Structure 1
Amino acid sequence: MNRKKDESMMFDNLSAKFSQLLYGHSKGESSHISRILEDFNKLDYHYPIVTNPTKAVLIIHQCCTIIPPDDFHLVHKACQLIISLLTHQHIEIEGQTLSLLTQWCLQALKQADVTTFIKILCVLKALVTTKFLLSTVVSIMGAMVTAANSNESEIALLATQCLETCTVLPGDSTISERELSLLEIAATAFLKHLLTFNLKIDCIQQNKILISSLRGLQNVITHHDEFLKREFNLLLGVVKSYMVYNIKGVNFQAPQKVMPSVLNIPGGLVSKSKEKRGGKIAKQRKPRTSSKKDGKVSDDDDNVESSGHNSVPRTSDSDFSDTEQGRIAKLGLSQDRVRQAALNLLLQIFKLTDKATIFCHWSNFISDGYSANNLNVCILKDPSPKGRMAALQVLLALLTCNKLYLAQAESSKKHTAFTPFSVILGAMVTELHKCLSLALNENSVTVLHQVLKCLAALVQASPYHKLAPGISKKIIRNVKIYVAHRDFTIQIAALIVFECLLGSEPIVPETRTSLLRQTNKVSENVDEPINKTIDDDIEFVDFSSDDEDETCLTVQEVPWLLERCLANLGVLFSREICYVVSPPVKVQSLQVISAMTRNYFDCLILPYLSHIAKALEVCLMDSYADLRLHAGRTIDFIGQAMNKHLENAKTVTPELCLAFWQLLINNSLTALLQSEQHSVLRAVGCDCFASIGPIIFEQLARDKQILIITLLFPCSRDEDHNVRAAAVRALAISVDYPSLRDDPGFIVDVAETIHRTLQDSSVIVRIKASWSLGNLTDALVLNLGDLTKEELPASLLLRLLKIANKISNDNDKIKVNAARALGNLLQMLSQENLQQDIFKDTVYESLESLVKNCTTGTNMKVRWNSCYAIGNVLKKSNFSINNYKGKEVLFQSLINLVLDFPNFKVRLNAALALSCVNDKETYGSYFLIIWESLVDALENTQNIEDFSEYNHQDHLVDQICLTLGHLTTLLSKADLSSINSSVQLHYELLVSQMHKVIERLLPEKSTVLLQAAAHLKTIASEDLTKEQQSVLNCLFKIFVNEYLLSLKPLSI
């Protein structure tokens, strides 16, 4: 402390002396300045000795004023002082002093010797690092570029590092054109170093120049999109060369432009998302990747453990002296950092480039078994764990962003002159499996964790059903040992790989077999290759399988993965010993069990429900809230899968499922719903009760049924909006349970709850409540024809109708359900209701809402739900559309949609709605307009602007033809002349499409076409004019063909 105080006083004294100096040309004055600067530089600046920053700024200003730029001796000492003040004392300079210092340095550079030149560069580097100003960068950029081309390696290094610092622009500001031009100047200097590098001169400083150049380019592309696009192929070429720089056994290739490969994206590649069919499934994991776009790369090494990963000392310890040994170690470290900088640049390039462009360069970086200098080499041969880590991060980014394209991969043993795109891709995917399997032989825990993350992403992206047999089985075998690794992060990563395998679709028999193996089975029986000839071609690491050879009898043989997860959760079998499991491992074990419900419920979950229930019971009673949360979610997933399988009574026994729910309801599950401290637990508790299902619910004791309902109603008034949303959804689902649907009091209570929550301030609650209203009204519509069921009170029905009208103007997700509910509610109105003016007005408002929603907005589901609801009203409602003043608007809206709306599902539902009128009188003057419009719409179905609509084309054609068939059943003799021109103009089209539809549809779905043909025969018996007879003959040929005649005779 005293020393710090003394040095601070010395600094103040020297500052006072220095501020009084005036430079003269005498030798004595120069010597005096030199002595004071020497005294300044003797101070220890690692301590904060400057108490007054202003004095320090004045000293810098004085140095630039009294020391001539051509006095090398004084300039050198002054630079040393300025560097200490800027870097260690963190002195900030600005304004006139900053400008003066910059100009002084630039003047001194022109005449300085090598040693002084280096010191001046250090000042400029410190200046830009501590205070980034565009004006400063502009001033020094030219000098830095010139210095970067110096033959002196130390000068070139410092200048390049200074240029790198200049490329670190403030991230929160807009980049100006001047800054972009400076970035290009710097990038040109960086590329010059990288493209003209002489491999024979392999020294530490040269490597540092390469590192700085690669990092500088990373900064440039982060801020300069146009430069990245323009030089994309060259940048990839640079990275491809330097990412394998000085790896043993890999020849260095001079950087050159890398062109796109044959892996061009097929034009017809379309993402096919699975339609949701209600209920929940265990979601597939999304790999977490860094979204950070920081161009600056730290000089410090990453915190990666040192590893003995396949590394062999280049020479023995005795061959070198300590000094030589240290120099070689530093050289090796600098080479490692070159590779890491190249891989970091590659990762940044991939983050800033679109997926399709990246995929076209896959073969340049991923091995297909023949190519060299790729990421596979970096992962397996880089001696530095940091280098392997960087390569794996790039691979993870590639796998994550190109998962859709990898679905096209396939293996083939056929030898043809042309290798298909999919087969090349399949070879790459297979090589990646080999590479990552070999990489599992890793000593660094951090790198091993990254290998497993990449494996998880690869498993998610791989279509195993199209690849060579044996791949997934060996991945399971190689990863299996890591679920019991000493490091819990590795256990979690290994379990994530299995979670992804469980979600892989379609299921591959070898995966199922490997996952169903019991722990106590002998390994020889299960390690036999499915296809020996193909299996032997795939190289994988064969790890020890001692645990598979153990034989130990258990109460019930449990598949090894489930057994491990249950053991992690506290359910131990006779072969297990008690061990401590970290909470994150328990959480991941629950997620694996949840994933099992997706595709393996019948074999991995159902037979072991009693064990799983015990594990869930333990988790629900745990003090760790996150564990209780995931246990609740697992119960929800199991319940959803259970309901699906209970529909097939031959494969599932309800008794086993009933025991599962009874155990949980009796104790822990009810406690979850009553958790006062954690609202998220109450919400997941509601979800669990919602997934019980009608079959199990009906078999529960009456007191348990009452308990569940009694717990759910108060939750609908919970202070947390997520709990209210989950509760109202659960109540709406329970309306489908037979015993509750027959309870009028319960139905009314649920309806009142839904009505209340539809007015909630939270949009999340309103979305769930709107879905609940749709589900409730679906159930009530089912009860319409049953005279034993009590009707909903008229006042409540009216309030529900009004609230449904109101929410039809809310959020799109709410509108979707509002349309569905309105279509149902309007069907429930009795003649008695419709005689009341208040009901009539509400009905008119409802129809206006439906018409508005089917003709406006960007949400297609809102539109087609509205069309479908209109159809239900026209077909099943007691309300007569003839009394509706907006009938013409309604018909015209549906006509406009069916004619040329871009979305085919909307057009289909509009066509369906037009077929829902049962009498010709209701169509009125629109009957013939609708006929002609449908014929035009049929012609328009051949015009597809969006390729994704192709899947719905046949369905749309079917519906238009069925609607035309319905209109034909209402034709009269007088209409034949009116439709003559339309029929004659589109005759060939009508014959062709109608006959295709007749042959395509099942007989029970084409009944209306039979009826149309029969009705035409009835008209034929009347007196017809020549024109009418001609039209009728055409219609016969349209609606009748041999296939239709074979189904049913026309004389009916």
Structure 2
Amino acid sequence: MDAVSKQRNVLAECYGLLGQLPVDVADVGGVLERLNGCSFAVQFVSSRDADVLLVRLIKALPCVDDGLVSGLCLLVSNICTKQQVTLEDKTLHTLLEYLLRCLRLCSPWVLPAAVDACGALVYANMARLEPLWEQLLASGGALETLLRPDEPDGKLRLAALRTLGAMTVKGEPPLPDWCTARMLDLLLDCLTDTHCPDPSVPVEALMTSALKSLQKVFSTKWGVRSDQLGRLLGVLKHLSFHGFPGQKSVRCPSLVPSPLCLHLPVPQIAEQFRPVTPKKRRRRHRKAQGDEGDTPQDVESSGKTSWKGASSSDSEFSDSESGQLARQRHQQSSVRRHVYLALRALVKAVDCREMFSYWLHFLPDIPVTLGAPQTQTILLTILRDPNPQVRTVALELLTDIMSHYKPFLGLASHSGVQRTAFRTLSETVAAIIGEVHRCLHLALIAETCPAQTVQLLKCLAAVVSGSPYHRLQAGLLTRLVGDVAALLDHRDLQVQVGSLTVLGAVVGMVPVSRAEVEASLHPQQLLATCASKLLVSDEALRISSTVVRVEALQLLTLLFQGSLLDLRESADKVVAVVRLCLLDAHLAIQLHAIKLLGAFSRELSTSLAATSCTEEAQSLLKLGLDLWLTCALEGSLQRCLQDDSLPVLQAEACSCLASVGSQVWDALPEDRRLVCITLVLALAKDGVDTVVRNAAIRCLGNLCAYASLREDLLFLMDVGDVVLEALGEPSLRMKASWTLSNLTEMLADLRKQGSRTEVPATFLSSLGTAALCLQKDKNHAQANAVRSLGCLLQFFTRDHLGREDIGMLVVKSVDSLIQGLRAGLMKVRWNACYSLGSMLANEDIVAGTNVRPVLDALLGSLVSCSNLKVRIQAATALCAPQTRAAYGSEWATVWRGLLAALEAADQPVDYRELQHQNQLRDQLCLSICHLLALAEAQDISEIESASRDYEGRIFNAFKKALSKEVIRESLKRAHDNLARESDDPCCSKTTRVLLASLLNGDLTELQSQMHSLQVK
């Protein structure tokens, strides 16, 4: 019989004894002894057995029998923590009430076991114990009594602290605020009054246990009350230097938020100016050295058996005087370490604006001196703490601060003046960032441990990605780059990876701090260093340095994305790197080599489009051809596209092919182009991995724009078939809608260029129907659908409109676009305005369509839309018709609507919208001039009347816009047209005086003349 069966037989026998009435107390003792003698490492107790067994035991046991109660507590702890059982609510309540009575009646030596049993019951069960919350946590309750400072039994206080920590488990239903606040008060009382009468339990053990419980409370993401936050941070700052050599721990009763942050704004960082942060990499988990307890995540990851946490072991220290001193230092450093772990958990639990106002107490804005006195801050711990584990956790906290509060770091601005009595928040933040740089510089120089150096580099990467160097003291980035560059050839590979990561973060700052990055980096030297790490001939060395080579490829990709490398100077090295890495056996190397090829191709395409020098263009084109023909299209890229076992590689190869650029693509041999098109079309069909299909569909959307494929009707129809098939699948809908809009835009371009390519009407009808179905979506696919409809309306000719299906499509499309003007997504509204403008510019459609609803809808958006970009596009669309006949009887309505919009354009706006407000005013002036340039004789009376009504608005708008040449030219055309159309000069005197005076710039005379006209 195996051990499990034997223990189940023992359980059955005990179960039978307890079922006999009356139950002898001696029998109960025997039952407890036999059950506690079982091995709980194996599962032999079911939830039902545990419920009945424990309830029968407490009914048979008096609370005053210390020995039996101790055995029962041990059994409860073993069953609840080591057996996979779930007790019923009634059983939980009965057991906990019994144990709470035992705490009041039993002898002191039994109490620690009883408290441990309580902890085992409450772990992950607090939500089910609501009736007993008051007895546990209220003033005068069990835990407050056990945690009082004069409690002589230190082990009992430790057990109570463990029980308090067991009440909060990540993932469980949250407790009410009063419960959590009460727990926090109890823990802070323990940390504030650290007196312990029991010499067998060090004060540091109580502190560490309380700090662990704090971490568990914060891990539930409970928001600390403002009135508790100051006291909490004061206690933690006081304990962060507990036992710190050469430092006296200064008690901080309560911290107050910095007055500089009372009205702290929430900075908005535009997407195009966000620094590119390197992607985080999974690293091997390293087991922490020493026995200093759990991290905040340990409890959740280790199951029920770890609810007590790990206690510090002192067995490694001898009993000699030096051993006792080492033990004490170990315990003190454990306190400091758990303080920083608690602060890390607090960062994620408290609102960032409220918490940022307190961080100024933890980070200095003056230099950290080497001699006394020293400001006690996180930076001092990083530089001077003798325990490497404490320094590591302090670095992790600093990394969290720099990452979590990155938007507030953007407030920094170095004024350049010497320190004064008052410092603004921007200057203070700039000084703090400067001190962080100085501290990390000193730490990097002094550190010899590779693991510590890696953590320093990780922190530096977070600091770099959040620092606005263009507004900071000059030289910070240059010194930082010099420190990191010296570690590129470090013997430890992880240090090399960290160095490359930091340099990648520096390159990622290009959008906002290009001048500082270019001054501190030497891109060509960096390229040479990365190439030397990638072009390693020794196979064994290449395999061992895979992580370094991946990081080097990522850094090269960022350098090209930031336009920091000269294409012609770097081409040879890039070609060699890409060719070798595409043949590498490691998937990550191939993947990032393809990304590097794509980044280089995008930069090359941008340079080709920007250059006007024929010789330079030919040189760049030859460079692009060499790159693609010798590196990618000799077989490597085709092999990646055809390898169905590596969908990630297939998707990246499609994305890379989409970046080749029109000019390079058109210059490639036809057979290579046909192979690529065939492979991508195949990957976009049904039956392929979703990620790969999305990438292939996006690639086809880019290829549509290339000149050699734009007039290839068969290719366009193949793309259309792929898109129509993909639109039916939700996971492909977004990319397919974008490709559909690109495809229809190419068709519209064919119409603009006067191409004679005949596109089948059935194909056009299918595209339009698909776009109409997409228009019902409530996301960015709707914006793509609106754009597609506008392009189709621009493409249709008189011959198309003769077909019934196309005619119905036009009517439905116009109605759909009008509805799009009322969409919730502003991009949809903007696209709807643009598309309606395209429709109004198509004379064939306007001739057979009632444009009144279109013009009314555009005028409504022009006056009432809250988004100024949409209003600008609406004003542009209203001047799309190129003939007076296109407006019909609505000309006067549009004329007065534009003048009324001038008044709406002058309403106060946010300062960030001032630029758009000026653009709106300019566009309104252009639209007004456009209508006047098309006006005919019958419109003169309406022009006269409206000009007098809106004289002041017209004057103010044109006064601000006349500095632009395009508006002066439009104004001249309007003036000349009115002069031709007016038979009687007196009839148009008001308007002609207005236009002539504006055109001549004589605004003072204009005011006087307009006043005299009104008097007459």
Q: TM-score range by the shorter chain?
A: 0.7 to 0.9
Match of 2:548 in 1: 585
Task: Give the equivalent residue in structure 2 for 1:567.
Answer: 532
Shift of 1:850: 1.8
2:917 corresponds to: 953
Structure 1 window deviating more from structure 2 (329-338 vs 265-274): it is 265-274
Match of 1:726 among 688, 695, 711: 695
Q: Distance in 1 between matches of 2:784 and 2:499?
A: 41
Q: What is the rounded CA distance, in whole Å, between the counterparts of 1:806 and 1:36 in structure 2?
A: 77
> Is 2:505 aligned against 1:500?
yes
CA distance in 2, matches of 1:848, 1:356: 46
Q: For 2:202 and 2:21, how far apart are their aligned partners in 1? A: 40
1:902 is paired with a residue of what secondary structure? Answer: coil
Partner of 2:809: 842
Range with greater deviation from structure 2 (246-255 or 778-787):
778-787
Corresponding position: 1:394 with 2:356:
no
Aligned counterparts of 1:125 and 1:919: Cα–Cα separation in 2: 84
2:724 equivalent in structure 1: 758
- How far the C-alpha of 1:37 sits from its partner, in A, is 8.9
Amino acid at match of 2:925: C
Letter in 2 for 1:826: L
Cα distance in 1, alignment partners of residues 662 and 188 from structure 2: 69
Look up the equivalent residue of 1:942 and give its one-letter code: D
Q: Which residue of the other structure, out of 342, 347, 365, is the alignment partner of 2:344?
A: 347
C-alpha distance in structure 1 between counterparts of 2:708 and 2:115, whole Å:
85
Q: Give distance in 2, aligned partners of 1:880 and 1:10.
A: 92
Compared with structure 1, are the counterparts of its residues 1024 and 1042 closer, same or farther at alpha carbon in structure 2 (3 Å cutoff)?
closer
**Map of 1:373 onto structure 2:** 376
Letter in 2 for 1:1029: K
Looking at structure 2, the residues matched to 111 and 740 of structure 1 have their Cα atoms a distance apart, in angstroms, of 90
Match of 1:815 among 782, 785, 807: 782
Deviation at 1:596, TM superposition (A): 1.0
Sort the Cα spacing of 1:857 and 1:242 in 2 relative to 1 into closer, same or farther, 3 A: farther
1:273 paired to 2:240: no
Which is worse superposed, 687-696 or 10-19? 10-19
Partner of 1:314: none
Is the 2:212–2:296 contact (alpha carbons within 8 Å) kept by the matching residues of 1? no
**Contact 2:776 2:782 (8 Å CA) reproduced:** yes
Query: 2:149–2:195: 8 Å Cα contact kept in structure 1?
Result: no
Q: Is the 8 A contact 1:245 1:252 kept in 2?
A: yes
1:120 counterpart = 2:114: yes
CA contact (8 A) 2:560 2:600 kept: yes
Say whether 1:491 aligns with 2:492. no
How far did 1:905 drift? 0.7
Partner of 1:528: none
Partner amino acid, structure 1, of 2:785: A
* In 1: Cα distance, 2:940 partner to 2:48 partner: 101
**Contact 1:919–1:970 (8 Å) recurs in 2:** yes
Match of 1:250 in 2: 247
Tell me: CA distance 1:72–1:848, structure 2 relative to 1, closer, same or farther (3 Å).
Answer: closer
2:423 aligned residue: 419
Distance 1:562 1:155 in 2: 61
The Cα offsets for residues 110-145 of structure 1, whole Å up to 9 and x where unpaired, read as 344432333433332333348654145554441121
Q: Distance in 2 between matches of 1:453 and 1:895?
A: 54
Cα displacement (A) at 1:433: 1.4
Per-residue displacement from partner, 1:629-677 (whole Å, max 9, x unpaired)?
2222221111111111223256662223321111121131221222232
Match of 1:749 in 2: 715
Alpha-carbon shift at residue 961 of structure 1 (Å): 1.4
1:92·1:130 contact (CA, 8 Å) conserved in 2?
no
Deviation of 1:619 after TM superposition, in Å, equals: 2.1
| Candidates 456, 459, 469, aligned match of 1:454 | 459
Rate the CA distance shift 1:940–1:99 in 2: closer, same or farther, 3 A. closer
Whole-angstrom distance in 2 between the partners of 1:358 and 1:52? 47
Q: Does 1:182 align with 2:179?
A: yes
Unaligned runs of 5+ in 1: 277-281, 291-297, 305-319, 518-558, 1046-1052
Please state if 1:468 is matched with 2:468.
no
Paired residues of 2:51 and 2:88 also in contact (CA < 8 A):
no
Give the aligned residue type for 2:883: D
TM-score, length of structure 1 as denominator length: 0.81
| One-letter code aligned to 2:319 | D
More displaced, 951-960 or 481-490? 481-490
The 1:582/1:200 distance shift into structure 2, 3 A limit, reads farther
State the alpha-carbon separation in 2 of the partners of residues 769 and 4 from structure 1. Answer: 60
Alignment length (residue pairs): 955
Q: Are the counterparts in 2 of residues 41 and 81 from structure 1 also a CA contact under 8 Å? A: yes
CA spacing shift, 1:201–1:499, aligned 2, 3 Å: farther
Q: 1:680 aligns with which of 634, 648, 659?
A: 648
Q: 1:231 to 1:597 in 2, by over 3 A?
A: same
Moved more, 787-796 or 327-336: 787-796
* Secondary structure at 1:857 match in 2: coil
8 A Cα contact 1:962 1:1006, kept in partner: no
Corresponding residue for residue 1012 of structure 2: none
Tell me if the contact between 1:456 and 1:497 (Cα under 8 Å) persists in the aligned partners: yes
1:512 to 483, 502, 518: 518
User: Given the alignment, which residue of 356, 359, 379 partners 2:356?
Assistant: 359
Distance in 2, Cα, partners of 1:97 & 1:688: 63
Shift of 1:945: 5.6
Distance of aligned partners of 1:881 and 1:16 in 2 relative to their CA distance in 1, 3 Å threshold = closer
Change (3 A) 1:512 1:974: closer
Q: What displacement does 1:615 show?
A: 2.1
State the match for 1:595 in structure 2: 558
Superposed CA deviations along residues 969-1002 of structure 1, whole A, max 9, x for unmatched, are 2445664554556444443332122121111x2x
Q: Tell me which residue corresponds to 1:405.
A: 408
Structure 1 stretch 416-425 or stretch 840-849: which is displaced more?
A: 416-425
Q: How far apart, CA to CA, are the structure 1 residues paired with 2:628 and 2:958? A: 53
Q: Is the 8 A contact 1:45 1:84 kept in 2?
A: no
Number of the residue aligned with 2:582:
620
Deviates more, 1:186-195 or 1:437-446: 437-446
Deviations 1:858-902 (A, max 9, x none): 221121112112112212x132425323x2211111011000200
What amino acid is aligned across from residue 181 of structure 1 in structure 2? W
Secondary structure of the corresponding residue to residue 565 of structure 2: helix
Query: Which is further off, 411-420 or 948-957?
Result: 411-420
SS at match of 1:365: coil
Amino acid across the alignment from 1:570: L
Residues 565-592 of structure 1: CA distance to partner in whole angstroms, max 9, x if unpaired? Answer: 333333459xx99554343333222211
Alpha-carbon displacement from aligned partner over 1:439-492 (angstroms, at most 9, x marks no partner): 334455544333222211211112223323332222222223444444444333
Where in structure 2 are the equivalents of 1:871-950 lying within 5 Å?
871-875=837-841, 877-885=842-850, 887-944=851-908, 948-950=912-914
Distance 1:598 1:170 in 2: 41
Deviation at 1:914?
0.9
Q: Which of residues 250, 254, 259 in structure 1 aligns to 2:256?
A: 259
Is 1:712 aligned with 2:680? yes
Paired AA for residue 463 in structure 1: P
Deviation of the 1:501 alpha carbon: 1.2
Amino acid at match of 1:827: Q
Single out whichever of 194-203 and 433-442 deviates more from structure 2: 194-203
* Partner of residue 302, structure 2: none
- 52 and 715 in structure 1: CA distance in 2 versus 1, 3 angstrom threshold: closer
- Percent identical pairs in the alignment equals 25
Distance 1:172 1:246, change over 3 A: same
- Measured against aligned partners, the alpha-carbon deviations of 1:491-524 in whole angstroms (never above 9, x if no partner) come to 333221111111212455664365437xxxxxxx
Q: Which of 205, 209, 226 is the equivalent residue of 2:206?
A: 209
Aligned match of 2:314: none
Matches within 5 A, 1:991-1006: 991-999=955-963, 1001=964, 1003-1004=965-966, 1006=968
1:293 aligned partner: none
The 8 Å contact of residues 196 and 203 in structure 2, kept in 1 or not, is answered as: no
- Most deviating of 350-359 and 98-107: 98-107
- Which residue matches 2:667? 699
